[in-house]
Chain A
Amino acid sequence: MSTSVALRPPRTPRARAVVPAVLATAIAIALIRLTGTHDSPAVETFVLILTSIVVEALPFVLLGALVSALIEVYVPGRFLTRLAAMPVRRQLPLAALGGLAFPVCECGSVPVARRLIARGVHPAAGIAFMLASPILNPVVLASTVVAYAGRGLAWEMTLGRAGLGLLLAIAAGWAIGTDDAKTLLRPRPDDEPMSYEEASSRRTAFVNHLAADFFFMGRFVVLGAALAAAMQTLIPQSIVAGIARTPIIGSLALMAIAFVLSLCSEADAFVAVSFVQFPLGSQLAFLVFGPVVDAKLTFLYGATFRRRFVARLVVIAIPIVLAGSLWFEALVVPR
């Protein structure tokens, strides 16, 4: 008996960390069930919206992490060095237009942009790519065409969205990307460049990078979705929508709604087209602002970039989107 006790392996840090987490989770579930909280309409609304946002976003976070890991492990350093050596004025528009070839929404573009910047691409170009790809990618443009085809405005809205999104991405990249990578990015251990000489070590490194990015970004997507779900559960949307009759207020109101809803850019056009009481310029503001700044992205940006990134982005995005939507309303929308 005493021998078996003596041979028992010491408790590992894994066991010490996992056991309390499992216990706490089980107790929380039991409390919710026993107190009847699970039947509360507010709790049901919160859980349903939270889960639906996460279900929609998570595959794209994983896809973004996959591309990010490919860049880290398989894209030759000399290629990125050549790209980084280009003047910023060429890198920036090229990176923004690169979004046309990257069919991933906003959750996926953040880890990719982070990896590009960490590997030497100019921060301005990285930011421009990150902000442009959720708007310019082919799936998003196609969904915008389909959504507005019924209103006879497919090309006006799609080109307006692409043009204003490109302009915003380049302007924000130019204005925010003046910092160097170390000042801009929050540090993470896997930013250090490594060499992978054997195929097996490359595979392992690829899985490690993919997992690191997915787990890092994924939890902030959950936090952001929780914030969006809480706001949708607690705040009546009529507060925002009721003041939305004029183009300026309408655009600001739909930007606020885009922030709260935190929709995926690949499907948001179908929602935007439903806001028929708002001017078309305001709907354009919803389509351009939402993929750039929303509740879940606030957490992702906060985890990826250093302080004040979100504030600077909002200060740049609101006037550009507002001006663009008013210009669109005045000059493009048919009377």
Chain B
Amino acid sequence: MSPRIALRGAVLAVWAAFFLWLGLSGEVTRYLGPRTYWVVWFGAFVLALAVVGHLVSLRAGSPEAVRRSDVAGAVLLIAPLIALIAVPSPDLGALAAGRKSTGLSSLAASAPRPENAVPGKLDFAEIHYASESAEYAAAIGARQGTEVELLGFVTHPKRAPQGTFALTRFYISCCAADAIPYSVFIRSTEDHTDDVWLRVEGRLGKIGDLFVVDPRSVAITDEPKTPYLY
């Protein structure tokens, strides 16, 4: 038996098990967007194939000893998994929203054309663009007094109008690396600390051209199973 092949097979098996767990537990939603979920099953499959290949050649190969560089390489390869043991269920929160916010008002995602708007759909992105374009606001039915319900986490952007805090959600395309924050301002005398998840029900109001929410009820809630919007 070759200890070197065994070590490599073990690292591949750990990664294969992690990919399988991501797929089965639904934790994949923490790391990837729906467009790339398939990568998890694909990864589990090819990694498992590689493990089988290693098992088959375990006895056939010459008994090569494990070198220090092999151990260092193996530790580096599984470093992200070690990090996940130390930091289980990591989240993107207010700090990431501050870092990832570009400061350009419409940079957050592709601005939908008014003709592509879904009337009545009023989530973070839609409210954001309603502030940018009166045509789009009319197309989705966003006007002062429109009822909305939002679920997001609290942030405090520098550009927040006085007497408001922001409720924020990340939108992702392929993975958490491309997460882009959208914020909607909540006009309230009551404030909350960063990263607290809130369910806010209320009506749309305005500060200048900016749509804000005048809340009827604000309830602290748990983080949803799928933390991002798409």
Give A contacts to B, CB under 8 Å. Answer: 12-14, 17-18, 21, 25, 28-29, 32-33, 37-38, 41-45, 47-56, 58-59, 62-63, 66, 150-151, 200, 203-204, 206-208, 210-211, 214-216, 218-219, 222-223, 225-226, 228-229, 232-238, 241-242, 244, 261-264, 266-268, 270-271, 273-278
Cβ contacts under 8 Å, B57 to chain A: 203-204, 207-208
User: Min CB distance, B75 to chain A, in Å?
Assistant: 5
CA distance A5 to B41 in the complex (A): 49
Cβ contacts under 8 Å, B173 to chain A: 267, 270-271, 274
User: Min CB distance, B20 to chain A, in Å?
Assistant: 12
- Residues A51 and B54 in contact, CB atoms below 8 Å apart: no
Main secondary structure of the interface of A (DSSP, over half): helix
Partner of A14 from the list B65, B105, B180 (CB cut-off 8 Å) is B65
Contacts A200-B60, A207-B57 given; indicate if A242 touches B103 (C-beta within 8 A).
Answer: yes
Q: Which of B99-144 contact A (CB under 8 A)?
A: 99-113, 116
- Residues B87 and A47 in contact, CB atoms below 8 Å apart: yes
- Residues B46 and A218 in contact, CB atoms below 8 Å apart: no
Cβ contacts under 8 Å, B80 to chain A: 47, 50-51, 54, 222, 225
CA distance A238 to B108 in the complex (A): 12
- Residues A41 and B178 in contact, CB atoms below 8 Å apart: no
- Residues B83 and A51 in contact, CB atoms below 8 Å apart: yes
Q: Check: B74 CB closer than 8 A to any chain A CB.
A: yes
User: Min CB distance, A219 to chain B, in Å?
Assistant: 4
Which residue of chain A has the shortest Cβ distance to B43 in the bound complex? A59
Q: Check: B177 CB closer than 8 A to any chain A CB.
A: yes
Give B contacts to A, CB under 8 Å. Answer: 3, 5, 7-8, 11-12, 15, 19, 22, 30-33, 35-36, 39-40, 42-43, 46-47, 50, 53-54, 56-57, 60-61, 65-68, 70-77, 79-80, 82-88, 90-96, 98-113, 116, 173-178, 180, 195
CA distance A322 to B72 in the complex (A): 40
User: Min CB distance, A324 to chain B, in Å?
Assistant: 22
Cβ contacts under 8 Å, A233 to chain B: 95-96, 99
- Residues B39 and A274 in contact, CB atoms below 8 Å apart: no
Which residue of chain A has the shortest Cβ distance to B100 in the bound complex? A237
CA distance A225 to B31 in the complex (A): 14
CA distance A138 to B135 in the complex (A): 37
- Residues B42 and A59 in contact, CB atoms below 8 Å apart: yes
Partner of A219 from the list B77, B108, B110 (CB cut-off 8 Å) is B77
7 interchain residue pairs of minimum CB distance: A267-B174, A59-B43, A238-B103, A241-B102, A270-B173, A41-B95, A52-B176
User: Min CB distance, A303 to chain B, in Å?
Assistant: 11
CA distance A219 to B11 in the complex (A): 12
Partner of B99 from the list A207, A232, A273 (CB cut-off 8 Å) is A232
Cβ contacts under 8 Å, A271 to chain B: 173-174, 178
CA distance A296 to B71 in the complex (A): 22
5 of the cross-chain contacts (CB-CB < 8 Å) are A55-B22, A232-B100, A233-B95, A270-B35, A274-B107
- Residues B110 and A45 in contact, CB atoms below 8 Å apart: no
Contacts A14-B65, A44-B93, A273-B110 given; indicate if A52 touches B60 (C-beta within 8 A).
Answer: no
User: Min CB distance, B195 to chain A, in Å?
Assistant: 7
CA distance A297 to B135 in the complex (A): 43
CA distance A68 to B90 in the complex (A): 35
Partner of A58 from the list B43, B79, B86 (CB cut-off 8 Å) is B43
- Residues A18 and B71 in contact, CB atoms below 8 Å apart: yes
CA distance A25 to B85 in the complex (A): 10
- Residues B104 and A277 in contact, CB atoms below 8 Å apart: yes
- Residues A222 and B110 in contact, CB atoms below 8 Å apart: no
Cβ contacts under 8 Å, B71 to chain A: 17-18, 21
CA distance A47 to B93 in the complex (A): 13
Cβ contacts under 8 Å, A56 to chain B: 32, 36, 39, 174-175
Cβ contacts under 8 Å, B12 to chain A: 211, 214
Partner of A207 from the list B22, B56, B67 (CB cut-off 8 Å) is B56
Cβ contacts under 8 Å, B105 to chain A: 277
Contacts A235-B99, A267-B36 given; indicate if A59 touches B178 (C-beta within 8 A).
Answer: no
CA distance A59 to B175 in the complex (A): 15
- Residues B31 and A51 in contact, CB atoms below 8 Å apart: yes
- Residues A28 and B35 in contact, CB atoms below 8 Å apart: no
Partner of A242 from the list B76, B102, B111 (CB cut-off 8 Å) is B102
CA distance A56 to B5 in the complex (A): 25
User: Min CB distance, A173 to chain B, in Å?
Assistant: 28
User: Min CB distance, B199 to chain A, in Å?
Assistant: 22
Contacts A48-B91, A48-B176, A150-B110 given; indicate if A14 touches B104 (C-beta within 8 A).
Answer: no
CA distance A12 to B65 in the complex (A): 8
- Residues A52 and B31 in contact, CB atoms below 8 Å apart: yes
